[in-house]
């Protein structure tokens, strides 16, 4: 689960796979598969994201297909399970906030954000993916490998794009600029 080695950056544990792996999303090839991974839960949510998402919910809903709106109306847009929060899902497959653009699964919140209609981009777990933050008595930054990201691995290798560079904006959003700079300055042994 945590790879070969873990280092500490300001008391936050980081799996060295996050530093050494190449990764660059390739939506034309994967079709946004990370938004439609099969399972009973959608995107992990931070409790503090729920009011922000609620505030921007009507705008996000304006991009969604009718069947996703029915799920939100009937079951709500998020759920709590074992102390954690997740977006609801459509048919145990797609996050309820997925809409399709030329066959590519995309986030309604992110669309609203980039159109200047929302101040909430998307859940930080989605923004960081394939990086996940786990908490085992302290935060652990880890690479969650998934077969659906094989095109991103291939593209990252071809372009020599480091995962931490591809996820820079999301890492800064979560940990701050100072921490990110320290992460990038970390040398692997």
What is the domain partition of the chain in residue ranges?
1-23+130-189, 34-120
The token pair at 84 is: 């954690």
Mean pLDDT (the chain) is: 93
Do 118 and 59 meet the contact criterion of CB atoms below 8 Å apart? yes
Give the tens place of pLDDT for each residue, 80-136: 998 899 999 999 889 999 999 999 999 999 999 999 999 999 999 999 999 999 888
Average of pLDDT values for 27-43? Answer: 92
13 bridge partner residues: 8, 140
Collapsing DSSP to helix, strand or coil, 117 comes out as coil
Contact partners, residue 65, CB within 8 Å, separation at least 6: 99, 100
Do 87 and 96 meet the contact criterion of CB atoms below 8 Å apart? yes
Q: What is the DSSP string of 52-106?
A: HHHHTHHHHHTTS-HHHHHHHHHH-SEEEETTEEEE-EETTTEETTEEEETTEEE
DSSP 8-state code for residue 51: H
Query: What is the reported pLDDT for 4?
Result: 65
The continuous run of DSSP H or E covering 18 comes out as helix 16-20
pLDDT score of 65 more than 80: yes
Query: What is the reported pLDDT for 1?
Result: 47
- Identify the residue with better confidence: 136 or 56: 56
Pairing, β 6-9 against β 44-45 = unpaired
Instruction: Report the distance separating Cα 141 and Cα 14, nearest Å.
Output: 5
Q: Is the pTM of this model over 0.85?
A: yes
Instruction: Report the distance separating Cα 15 and Cα 188, nearest Å.
Output: 11
In this prediction, residue 51 has a pLDDT band, given cuts at 50, 70 and 90, of very high
Query: What is the reported pLDDT for 142?
Result: 94
Do 78 and 87 meet the contact criterion of CB atoms below 8 Å apart? yes
pLDDT score of 37 more than 50: yes
Instruction: Report the distance separating Cα 126 and Cα 124, nearest Å.
Output: 5
Query: What is the reported pLDDT for 138?
Result: 85
pLDDT score of 3 more than 60: no
The candidate with the shortest Cα–Cα distance to 1, out of 158, 94, 134, is 134
Query: What is the reported pLDDT for 135?
Result: 85
């Amino acid at each position: 689960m945590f790879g070969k080695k873990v280092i500490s950056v300001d008391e936050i544990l980081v799996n060295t796979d996050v530093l050494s792996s190449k990764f660059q999303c390739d939506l034309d090839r994967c079709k946004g598969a990370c938004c439609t991974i099969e399972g009973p839960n959608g995107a992990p949510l931070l409790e503090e994201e729920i009011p922000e998402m609620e505030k921007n919910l009507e705008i996000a809903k304006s991009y969604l297909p009718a069947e996703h709106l029915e799920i939100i109306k009937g079951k709500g847009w998020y759920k709590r399970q074992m102390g954690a929060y997740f977006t609801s899902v459509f048919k145990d497959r797609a996050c309820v906030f997925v809409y399709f653009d030329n066959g590519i699964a995309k986030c309604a919140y992110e669309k609203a954000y980039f159109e200047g209609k929302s101040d909430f981009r998307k859940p930080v777990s989605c923004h960081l993916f394939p990086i996940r933050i786990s908490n085992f008595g302290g935060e652990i930054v880890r690479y969650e490998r998934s077969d659906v990201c094989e095109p991103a691995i291939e593209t990252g290798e071809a372009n020599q794009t480091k995962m931490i560079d591809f996820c820079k904006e999301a890492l800064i959003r979560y940990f701050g600029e100072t921490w990110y700079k320290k992460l990038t300055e970390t040398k692997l042994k």
